[in-house]
Homo-oligomer: A and B are copies of this chain.
Amino acid sequence: MDIQLKRGLLDVCVLAAIKDGESYGYRIIKEMKPYLEMSESTLYTILKRLEGAGMLTVRTAEHDGRLRKYYNITNRGRARLAEFQEDWKEMMTVYRFVIREGNKQ
């Protein structure tokens, strides 16, 4: 997929991946893979950004001798998802402008 198009989805995809219960980086990537592929460096950058924006909270816990960071969505994160749905309506308007069959000159 075109990278610029993808950009608008990355943040909300990550939020969506944890909106039904906490998750962690490695799992998020695998869960999203069928829908949208992203590199590890991209995901962890996004997680940090969303945390900084107060859309996620983090808790570190040990699992099988390894440290895992579990992420939970906040109200602000849910608000971001709601905004996305509003934005999507505008996107659809623009989409129709782009694909419209205009009057050939």
Q: For the complex, count residues of A whose C-beta is within 8 A of B.
A: 38
* Distance A5 CA – B87 CA, assembled complex (angstroms): 8
What residues on B are CB-neighbors of A10 within 8 Å?
Answer: 4
**Closest chain B residue to A83 by CB distance?**
B2
Are A4 and B7 also in contact (CB < 8 A) when A20-B104, A85-B99 are? yes
Indicate if the CB atoms of B98 and A12 lie closer than 8 Å.
Answer: yes
Q: Tell whether A13 is near chain B: CB-to-CB under 8 Å.
A: yes
Indicate if the CB atoms of B8 and A4 lie closer than 8 Å.
Answer: yes
Residues of A within 8 A of B (CB): 1-2, 4-13, 16, 19-21, 32, 35-36, 81, 83-85, 87-88, 90-91, 93-95, 97-100, 102-105
Indicate if the CB atoms of B105 and A20 lie closer than 8 Å.
Answer: yes
Indicate if the CB atoms of B90 and A1 lie closer than 8 Å.
Answer: yes
* Distance A81 CA – B100 CA, assembled complex (angstroms): 11
Indicate if the CB atoms of B2 and A87 lie closer than 8 Å.
Answer: yes
